[in-house]
Structure 1
């Protein structure tokens, strides 16, 4: 039984990305749930490498910090002076002298690259026992990209950067994707022969292919099935295009898996989101982070969910939710704001213009409209009337409120924490409750009403109110 070859991944992430015009390094710009670098590292996992090296340069500390979060096993290597891709790979290999076998080199700005494409590229390289293999693509407009130049037999002869290409070579539409596989020993030797004799005055990694071909080593081309996978990103316009392409890919995948996406053009789903068949996502909705949506749940229209769990049969309409758990058959919205720590039980309801934070609603509990619920536990079947405020913060400390099972809180009430409304208890509308209401009791906290007869006629003579009051008085006589 043959032993699996040793593999190393090198990701080139040192560039500044000036055309992004951003304080954020280009490789750290987000794209549907991952950074550009994060997408490439995810695709690189298909290589099943024993080590991964990421070459950093511009704002290296930021890139290192991000790398420690998303891929702590990867090794960052500093390229202090960006003297070309060949120079970057040489620095990477110098940091891992033990690396042998296969070396996979990826640029960090090709976020649409699929893991299966990386796997196929590496397999083709190793099966052909080549010195090097390049991933290529046929594109309608190759402007700005390196060209693949083949010999008469169709084999790779060299890769030519556009700046150094003749008019004839610029007409070639087969382009270099910036994704390569090398034999480690041959790569080390060829890197030592690179020169800066080119328009940029840099060490081009692509020159390695010509050196290996001239030396009689097999070099190959692996054509990507989808040219979109090879698209890079140099400015925000290109980033926006990649975002749209990835949106379409993600949405198509979910549609084929049985998810109903009512308007894919206005639906944005992060690659880190999970959905079950027969879930529904309506138009103008965003599902972000670790959000998950179960079968028969309906999300949208006009809804944003971040790190939110939506369980089976729930409905979330025109709402914004961050870090919430929405239970089976629960309903949310319209125009609700669920903040972290919100947990809704089965068939619980958070209605229109309601904000919740660190609040748990039991099965069948309802906060139908126009309320704020913070730091609270609301028991099963309890009802919180319109305009109720859970006053949880005194300017220094936050305190908890408990509303018991089947309790009823009247409209326009204020529950001043810490306070407990017992099971089955009632709070009269308009009350400001600061003491516990025992189970089964009615809590009333409001002044006795007093009517001042004739006040409008004396204080507001000549107004429409005075006229209406006078008519009413005449009709009563």
Structure 2
């Protein structure tokens, strides 16, 4: 992402969820895909995208999350959402950082959505540069079921309609809400502070910003992305699904970069695995954390490697 000084980017990453459906004492965003916490993937993508400022909103009862952020992203500012009162309330926990960020754009990301990519962040940011006050990531699916529908007219996003509130014709819409949103910084706080909690759950919903922005005559745009980009992890089955997508992507990338995988589906990568060109990986190999394989090396079948560097054997 090529950022300009006149349009700096702030990523607000929401990581305060308890994750009760994980049935675990471990905070949800600390569960791992590719041997890296879910939150770590989002932080890594923000860094790879060249985002200048990062704020992470954590819960009051998850010291492990705060410690992890300090370890891997020491420049990120942390804010505590003392009460879990909805997504807009969570973003407003980072109010001091939003006040400092008066120009450019604000991207709201989720610490439990590890598969979002650099290009998606770039697309959202460019939409804001091009004049939108609010940009909402959406995805098309043939089974929209419980997802909120994006109601687009004349190229503008007019509303996000929850499935339970949708009319029969609206339920036929296949463009659905992906959750991730971007705001022009000069409109962000103004919109967030006008969101109310007069709903059945008594929560402050970030999606209400769409209606507020439209009512104020601001431009709101839906940005279509691949469904897997905004795949959230709320339970163990979704964690498994995210792992499968990660491994598929990582195998494909390795082969594009000149690595031979003799039986790709039997090779498992960690997020930090480094394989140089002309490496050959035999079947049934697991790369644990901290592995680097040098150019031309061979990794034997049924290997499990961790914290090791492998070089090609010297020829006599």
Regarding TM over 0.5, the answer is yes
Q: Do structure 1's residue 199 and structure 2's residue 196 form an aligned pair?
A: no
The worse-fitting range, judged by mean Cα deviation, of 57-66 and 72-81 is 57-66
Decide whether aligned partners of structure 1 residues 221 and 290 sit closer, same or farther in structure 2, where only a CA change above 3 A counts.
Answer: same
Residues 408-457 of structure 1 deviation map (CA, whole Å, 9 limit, x = unaligned): xxxxxxxxxxxxxxxxxxxxxxxxxxxxxxxxxxxxxxxxxxxxxxxxxx
Match of 2:67 in 1: 65
- Determine the C-alpha separation between the residues in 2 that align with 1:210 and 1:85: 16
Q: Do structure 1's residue 106 and structure 2's residue 106 form an aligned pair?
A: no
Residues 370-399 of structure 1 deviation map (CA, whole Å, 9 limit, x = unaligned): xxxxxxxxxxxxxxxxxxxxxxxxxxxxxx
Match of 1:272 in 2: 272
Where do 5+ consecutive residues of structure 2 fail to align? none
Match of 1:247 in 2: 247
Match of 2:257 in 1: 257
Match of 1:117 among 117, 120, 137: 120
Decide whether aligned partners of structure 1 residues 150 and 98 sit closer, same or farther in structure 2, where only a CA change above 3 A counts.
Answer: same
Decide whether aligned partners of structure 1 residues 164 and 28 sit closer, same or farther in structure 2, where only a CA change above 3 A counts.
Answer: farther
Decide whether aligned partners of structure 1 residues 166 and 83 sit closer, same or farther in structure 2, where only a CA change above 3 A counts.
Answer: farther
Contact between 2:155 and 2:221, CA under 8 Å: does it hold in 1? no
Decide whether aligned partners of structure 1 residues 94 and 171 sit closer, same or farther in structure 2, where only a CA change above 3 A counts.
Answer: farther
- Determine the C-alpha separation between the residues in 1 that align with 2:60 and 2:20: 10
- Determine the C-alpha separation between the residues in 1 that align with 2:71 and 2:220: 36
Match of 1:208 in 2: 209
Residues 156-209 of structure 1 deviation map (CA, whole Å, 9 limit, x = unaligned): 001233344444433322112211110123121111211112332211101101
Match of 1:472 in 2: none
- Determine the C-alpha separation between the residues in 2 that align with 1:88 and 1:209: 17
- Determine the C-alpha separation between the residues in 1 that align with 2:98 and 2:221: 25
Shift of 1:58: 5.8
**SS of equivalent to 1:97:** helix
Q: Do structure 1's residue 312 and structure 2's residue 315 form an aligned pair?
A: no
Shift of 1:106: 0.4
Higher-Rg structure is 1
Contact between 1:137 and 1:227, CA under 8 Å: does it hold in 2? yes
RCO comparison, higher one (Cα < 8 Å, 6+): 2
TM-score by length of 2: 0.93
Match of 1:155 in 2: 156
Structure 1 residues 266-345: aligned runs within 5 Å: 266-313=266-313, 328=314
**SS of equivalent to 2:113:** coil
Where do 5+ consecutive residues of structure 1 fail to align? 314-327, 330-346, 348-477
Contact between 2:291 and 2:307, CA under 8 Å: does it hold in 1? yes
Structure 1 residues 163-202: aligned runs within 5 Å: 163-202=164-203
Contact between 2:108 and 2:182, CA under 8 Å: does it hold in 1? yes
Shift of 1:96: 4.4
- Determine the C-alpha separation between the residues in 1 that align with 2:171 and 2:51: 35
TM-score by length of 1: 0.62
> Greater helix share, 1 or 2?
2
Q: Do structure 1's residue 17 and structure 2's residue 19 form an aligned pair?
A: yes
Contact between 2:128 and 2:184, CA under 8 Å: does it hold in 1? no
Contact between 1:25 and 1:58, CA under 8 Å: does it hold in 2? no
Residues 32-63 of structure 1 deviation map (CA, whole Å, 9 limit, x = unaligned): 03211011111122553332111111633111
- Determine the C-alpha separation between the residues in 2 that align with 1:135 and 1:227: 10
Decide whether aligned partners of structure 1 residues 148 and 253 sit closer, same or farther in structure 2, where only a CA change above 3 A counts.
Answer: same
